[in-house]
Each structure stands twice: as C-alpha cells, then as structure tokens.
Amino acid sequence: MPKQWNRDPIQAAYDLWVDKGWDDTADGMIAVTSLLRVHQLLMARADEILAPVELSFARYEVLVVLYFNEDAVPLSYLAKALQLHQASVTNLVNKLEKQGYLERRAHPTDRRVTLAQATRTGRARTRTAIRRLNSELYPQLGLTAEEARALVSIFAKMRHAWGDTPEDGGTDAAGALLHVAQSPA
C-alpha cells in the first residue's frame, strides 16, 4: 500500500530534491510541479462548471473564439488562436458540430479551407458558459486582483523566454480574435 501523505507532496518532493544535492534546480522543479498541479486543478474545476452546459473547457475555448467573431473562421485560424495542433482542432470541431453548437462549411472561394461558425444554440451555450466561469471560477482563484496580475506577468515572462509571445512581448489577444475574419487561411 502506498505511503499516506500528511504534508504537501510537492513540498516533500522539493525537500527530496535538496536532500539529493540538487539545490540548484530545486526551485525550478517546485515551480514547474506546482504550476502543473494548479493546471490540473483548474481544468478539473472548469470542466465541472461547464458540465451542465455540455462543454469541456477545450470545446468552450473554440466556441469563445467563434463567439467573438460574427463571421465564420478558418479552422487553421482556430488552431493558431488556441495554440493547438490542427488535428486537435478538427477533433474539437467534430464534437461541437455533432452537438449542434457550430456549423462547418467550405470557404466560398478557396476549396482547401474549411470554415466554422457558431450556431444560435452554440452562441447561447457560450454566453451561459461565460457567465458560469465568470461567477464560479475566475473570481474564486484565492488571489487578489494584484496577485492575479503579478502571476500573469510572471507567466508572460516565462512564455516570452520560451518563444511563445511576439518579439516585442506584446499580446493583443482580443485584437487577434477579432481579426480572424480578414485573416488568410
């Protein structure tokens, strides 16, 4: 039978790291491990909140991009906006289409491009999902607004170090989401 933990297992792992003489990497290890655990907790809570509207957080993200765009958008743009592999986007779109939350169609002038657009039902589900997350998740992080902004700043620094943000460090997610209709496929 596995040993029962009477303390934080992540802190215990940190102590083991130090005990093994890996002091120079212990802070990085605990930061990564803590971040990954928080990700697991947030995803589980988001999926729990979205279950009544029959969405996972991943499907919700697709619908949010479509929600903020009146026109149909290329699936390739969804992949770029959500930072997902094209196959993952196709899988999510298949599920949402089966649920009746979006429609897929060919681009009118470029047969190589597939477009997606939220249906009336999909837009209504998205509004409900946004309300639920705005009341049950986003304000319940256990952080002050100042702490949340500091955390975002730290994450931005990490993302930039890994080449995940523009060279100037700027992120204009809202502008990028609204630019979709004019984006080439």
What is the number of structural domains in the chain? Answer: 2
pLDDT, mean of residues 114-121:
97
If we measure between CA atoms, which residue out of 80, 72, 137 comes closest to residue 108?
72
**What whole-number distance in Å separates Cα of residue 6 and Cα of residue 61?**
37
| Residue 175 resides in a domain | yes
| Residue 39 resides in a domain | yes
Instruction: Count each helix (H run) and each strand (E run) in the chain, helices first.
Output: 8, 3
- Asked whether residue 182 carries a pLDDT value surpassing 90, the answer given is no
Q: 152-170: per-residue pLDDT in tens? A: 999 999 999 999 887 655 5
pLDDT at 2: 60
Same domain, 133 and 147: yes
pLDDT at 5: 65
- Asked whether residue 53 carries a pLDDT value surpassing 70, the answer given is yes
Same domain, 29 and 112: no
Q: Mean pLDDT, the chain, as a whole number? A: 89
Q: In what order do the strands lie in the sheet with 102-106?
A: 73-74, 114-118, 102-106
| Residue 3 resides in a domain | no
Please state which of the ranges 51-55, 106-110, 120-124 shows the lowest mean pLDDT: 106-110
Provide the whole-model pTM: 0.82
| Residue 1 resides in a domain | no
7 confidence band (pLDDT: 50, 70, 90): confident
pLDDT, mean of residues 93-110:
96
CATH of residue 74: 1.10.10.10
Q: What is the DSSP letter of 5?
A: P
| Residue 32 resides in a domain | yes
